[in-house]
Structure 1
Amino acid sequence: MGLRFATMNAVHSVVRLLGVWTVAALVSGGLAPWVRGQDSGGVGVDFSNREQVEAARKDAVVRALRWLKDHQSPDGSWAPQHKDAMTGLCLLAFLAHGETPDSAEFGETIQTGSQWLANYMVGRSAVENEGRGYGHGIAAYALCEALALTKLPMYKFAVDNALNIIVQGQQRGGGFDYNFAKGERWDLSVSAWQFQALRAGQAGGSSVPGLAEAARKGVEFIKKTTYANGRFGYCSPGSGSWAMTGAGTACLQIFGEGASEEAQTALKGIREGYKPEWNDVAEYATHTHPSYEWYYMSQVLCNSGAEGVEEWYKLFAPILIRSQRTDGHWYCPGAQTTVWAWDSYFSTAMNCLSLDRPSRILATYRAADETPKAETPAPQAP
């Protein structure tokens, strides 16, 4: 089984997620060798037994990290295309597991990956973003989390430059668009990565001018511009996919607004109407790449308190563990016919992040966990 696209529209939809309209080059020789094989995750696991599920979850994460380690480029980056985004996501997967440059098994992987990303970010400007803003936000987020977790000064200059670009690239209304354009159009998918970077920068103690104001404007943008009728929109109010509703909700949660009416209404809708599935015949449209969707939905549930974590274990642990390949990677399901050279990196990093969300290691995760939940409101003054 390989990653298969049925239509050119489906091809564009997934490629568009990374901000590129041109069709990516196929892996030389057809299917990438790691796509072949059999699904093996969860064999023998009783998914009603929490101890077995937890052991399988941890094992799946380690196997995924080992696959990413084995497929890192010699220069420290990942993937043949969209290196800024892919390297950022892969680095985040290691950081979310608590790995640092001092880690015994993955230390060198993180050292070379973060150094590549830091070198890439130094001297960058908004107009140089080949990923239409996606890549910058993801790379900035990873660097901010690396600084917050390790406190190593080697990241500070790159983090400051990355955050400055985001602060300067924010629209008057608080959102972001492709290439940090300042027009009327806004894009929640692009914006969400900038917001995660901003929050990680705050959590890491960044002193970049305008950071707090950019975060405040971001919250207002999510609430007043993207939200309508219990959902968050991609580029018009309330019009987005499940992934966009997850993105809007998760961003409010990490900014301390998880108890807001908008976040709580969206959370209620997610709990009542959303269920993850592995569908090998579906044609996934824009922002419905399963790994992308599961990433935000995992955050939303785990950010919502103990009840949400239990919901995550029931909904996401089985599907993520069972769909992992024998060598530790994942691919995108669906009605596709070709394999894109970056997808296994993307799917593996994103699914690894989803599986590790209950661990609460990243600074943005801890920020959401420290936010009072709607179920336990603060006492009211008499």
Structure 2
Amino acid sequence: MDQEEIPPEPIMEQDDLPPQMTVAPPVEGPLAKYMREYRLLNSLLVSLFILVGSFAALWNIVVYVAAAGEGNSDFSDAGAAPADQQQEKQKVVKLMQRQQKSQPKTQQQFRTTAVSDISLPDLNELDVKDLAPVVEAAAPTMAEVGSNNDQMKKAMAGIGLSLPKVMQQRCDPKKRMSRLRSGGGKEITEDAIMRGLNWLKNIQDSDGGWGDIDKTPEGNRPSYGKSSHKQAMTSMALLAFLGHCELQDSPQFGPTVQKAIDFLTSESPDELTGSANNGAYAHGIRTYALCEAYTMTKIPKLKEYAKRAAIFTIKGQNENGGWAYGFGKGPVAHTDLSVSGWCIQGLKAAALTGIPIDGLDESMDKAIEYVKRCQDQTGRFQYKTDSHGGQSGRGSLTGTGILSLQIWKNAKSEEARKGLDWIVANICDNKAQKEWKNVNVYGWYYHAQACFQATGAGGNNYWREWNKDFQQIVTKAQSEDGHWEHGYHFHGDTDIYRTAMTILMLEVYYRYMPSTKV
């Protein structure tokens, strides 16, 4: 039997094939891929975040606890006793009341013979913006300079507004520090000033003066006349406190200042004390202190003393325009620039009081002509005009001559410029002057002021050169107790004289602002 033939299966076309089933892998997003590939790194980051968060929480707890115990003070201590707090409040209230009474009802005027001749710049002219400051930083807060009491801030601001414009910067703590910084000053300078003032406070005599325990560089009592020396030293010390705007109501130095004022007003202001030479020096410095004290405190008694002292100075002027030992008259009198320099500063302070004083302008004009005649060919200034010119000037008196010109109509004079050029060439660029043992404090007191005042007359380069090493040299030489040891010998050198003058030279950054109206 034939086998039945089985036909072949038909070949199916591709389109007729049934669809095949496939299982797709799970879809993995970017985040899942990142977590899978960086598992170790992610674990480390999470651990770090937990650690930082724990530390931050612990820090907040510590800060909160510390702040709860300190109140609002930046630098607080255990606080004053209730009685002390009440006493301080009373002082502040008295200060505010006194300043309110002394606040001028109208714009303050200076009634001298020629008002236009007094250099009183506008506030917007006072910035020394193009100086190259040593430290560029914002001014510290009130708490950082010790005046963190709101009432005290307002009272100090009131004092500043009642002062001549050239003196206003010293009384607002914030402005004072701002001026220090803008002029290239450092915090070490302000610290040195405060230490020096505390030293003066601690050695004040029981009668309010200074001088009973003063010492020469050799450790001896000064041989100068006791009465004139004490008047001069008390005046110098008072000027140092006033330069920092420490007044009779100052919480820290108020009693010190008040006792000094009482001492200076315990003797007649229109007669010389002591010997002829010492008395002449002392009266010029005393006039300076009495006039500045009245300008800043407005104590009624001081007005009479300041005016009488200034009038006596004017009457004591020699015919040649200077001032002599014993305020002698005629060509044979011992007239010299050193005595004259103090009298000129005293009369300038008298002009700033606003008290009408007959003959003040004429006296100052004559004095400036005398000062110009004291300059020699090199730019230095001579001790006496009869030193026959040439090169007989003294470096220590050069700043005296320049400052005298600057504070009375002649800041831009050729004589002032020549003197400033000499200081830069022979003091600022002199390596020997970089050591305190070679520093003549008397000369530097004037040099520092002369170079700073030059900025008001476009002489910023003089201050830049002077200020390069000035602060470091002076502050480094201060003793631990706050006074300055002997440097280079100058006439009249004693611990009090030297320290007071050094404080005044460091206060140059804000004590008197340079004027552009010259």
**TM-score where L is the length of structure 2:** 0.56
Cα deviation, residue 115, structure 1: 1.6
What residue is the counterpart of 1:377 in the other structure?
Answer: none
AA at the equivalent of 1:249:
I
Question: Residue 231 of structure 1 corresponds to which residue in structure 2?
Answer: 380
Identity, % of aligned positions: 36
Matches within 5 A, 1:1-382: 49=135, 54-80=186-212, 81=226, 82-122=229-269, 124-125=271-272, 131-184=278-331, 185-223=334-372, 225-229=373-377, 230-235=379-384, 236=387, 237=389, 239-275=392-428, 276-278=433-435, 280=437, 290-305=440-455, 306-334=460-488, 343-360=494-511, 365-366=512-513, 369-372=514-517
Deviation of 1:50 after TM superposition, in Å, equals 6.0
SS at match of 1:104: coil
* Partner SS for 2:481: coil
Which amino acid in the other structure matches residue 210 of structure 2?
W
Superimposed CA distance per residue, residues 161-210 of structure 1 (whole angstroms, 9 cap, x where no aligned partner):
21111111101111011111113242000000000001110111132221
Instruction: Describe the SS at the equivalent of 2:468.
Output: helix
SS at match of 1:65: helix
Shift of 1:294: 1.0
Cα deviation for residue 150 of structure 1 reads 2.2
Residues 48 and 141 (structure 1), Cα distance of their counterparts in 2 relative to 1, 3 Å cut: closer
SS at match of 2:354: coil
CA distance in 1 between partners of 2:135 and 2:196 (Å)? 22
When residues 296 and 97 of structure 1 are mapped into structure 2, their CA distance, relative to the original with a 3 A threshold, is same
SS in 1 for 2:266: helix
Q: What one-letter code is carried by the residue in structure 2 that aligns with 1:177?
A: A
* TM-score, normalised relative to structure 1: 0.75
**Structure 1 residue runs of 4 or more that deviate by more than 4 Å after TM superposition:** 47-53, 125-130
Q: Does the CA contact (< 8 Å) of 2:436 and 2:474 recur in 1?
A: no
Partner of 2:146: none
Amino acid at match of 2:449: Q
Residue 291 of structure 2 aligns with an amino acid whose one-letter code is C
In 2, Cα distance between equivalents of 1:335 and 1:115? 32
Offset of residue 279 of structure 1: 5.2
Q: How many residue pairs are counted as aligned between the two chains?
A: 310
Alpha-carbon distance between aligned partners in 1 of 2:447 and 2:134, rounded to the nearest angstrom = 21
> How far is the alpha carbon of 1:269 from its aligned partner?
1.5
Structure 2, gaps ≥5 residues long: 1-132, 138-180, 213-225
Deviates more, 1:72-81 or 1:119-128: 119-128
Q: Deviations over 1:202-259 (max 9, x none)?
A: 1111322211111111111111x21221221101356332121110001101113110
| Cα pair distance change 1:111/1:268, threshold 3 Å | same
Give per-residue Cα distances to partners, 1:284-342, cap 9 Å, x unaligned. Answer: xxxxx721111001111111114444334313111110000001000222589xxx997
Alpha carbons 1:175, 1:218 under 8 Å: kept: yes
Larger Rg: 2
Indicate conservation of the 8 Å contact 1:126/1:180, yes or no.
no
Q: State whether residues 126 and 169 of structure 1, in contact with CA within 8 Å, keep that contact through their aligned partners in structure 2.
A: no
Task: State the SS of the aligned residue for 1:191.
Answer: helix
Q: What is the CA–CA distance in structure 2 between the aligned matches of 1:121 and 1:357, rounded to whole Å?
A: 31
